[in-house]
Amino acid sequence: MSSINPKNSSIKQAIILAAAMLAVFCLIASMMIAVTHHKTAPIIEKNQHEFLMQSLAAVMPINSYDNDLITDSYTVNHSLLSTEDAVVYLAFQNSKPTGAIISAVAANGYNGKIKLIVGVNYAGEIYGVRVVEHKETPGLGDPIEIKRSNWIEQFSDKSLAQPEIQNWAVKKDGGQFDQLTGATITPRAVVAAVKNALVFYQDQRDMLFNLADENKTVAQNNE
């Protein structure tokens, strides 16, 4: 004849109750996370869009184009820009190409990837460069940010002809560009990324603007 041990029964009931309470807690937490995400997602998306527009405006004069840069943007995959997809924003004024903003990644920063954008006129002369994301050491590598120093402004008006391409390096490497006090790896990576963006634009400019013209023609024919 078998018998029921009241002590074992109580333990089982306690375990079942604890498991049930944990399940309810997890369900409530999941619901709270979902509600929070639903409420904050539009705000986050809006902030990201505003940051993007501010960044684009910083490297492309507002009077140099009259089109919607976001609409006339293209995703490209090119080793000169990144190991991942990059975005190129094409600028037009009175339907004529006036320049582009090229996103690029310096993969060999001191603390990892440095994401930046490069604004150029049609001829490939730089309007401006801005770092949009990085993990460089505060006080050492972060002066690549415009809010930390004016180091990034030294690229303005530069091109592959000025300076000549062999001089696109920091001064420590025999080039023309300043490094940062106590830091060489970070500026070296940024200089190389900006140069690569210019080489990409020089090689792909006509193809990009021809693609834009073809897409606009197709859109007009479909109206």
pLDDT of amino acid 52: 77
Q: Is the pLDDT of residue 156 over 90?
A: yes
- What confidence tier does 38 reach under pLDDT thresholds 50, 70, 90? low
* Per-residue exposure over 93-117, b if at least 16 CB sit within 10 Å of its own CB, e if not: eeeebbbbbbbbbbeebbeebbbbb
pLDDT digits 0-9 by tens, 171-203: 999 999 999 987 899 999 999 999 999 999 999
**Cross-sheet strand order for the sheet of 86-93:** 73-76, 86-93, 96-109, 112-121, 126-133
pLDDT of amino acid 40: 63
Q: Let me know: does 187 contact 144? Beta carbons within 8 Å.
A: yes
Q: Let me know: does 109 contact 135? Beta carbons within 8 Å.
A: yes
pLDDT digits 0-9 by tens, 62-72: 999 999 999 99
Running DSSP on this structure, what letter comes out for residue 136? P
Full-model pTM? 0.77
Q: Let me know: does 90 contact 212? Beta carbons within 8 Å.
A: yes
What is the token pair recorded at 109?
């920063």
Q: Let me know: does 194 contact 176? Beta carbons within 8 Å.
A: no
- What confidence tier does 219 reach under pLDDT thresholds 50, 70, 90? very low
pLDDT of amino acid 204: 96
Phi, psi of 72 (to 5 degrees): -95, 50
**Max Cα-Cα span within the chain:** 98
> Using CA atoms, how far apart are residues 60 and 146, in angstroms rounded to an integer?
15
pLDDT of amino acid 17: 77
Q: Is the pLDDT of residue 222 over 80?
A: no
Running DSSP on this structure, what letter comes out for residue 174? T
pLDDT higher at 222 or 91: 91
pLDDT digits 0-9 by tens, 8-31: 667 777 778 777 788 887 878 778
Q: If DSSP codes are grouped into helix, strand and coil, which group holds residue 105?
A: strand
**Strand blocks (E) in the chain:** 73-76, 86-93, 96-109, 112-121, 126-133
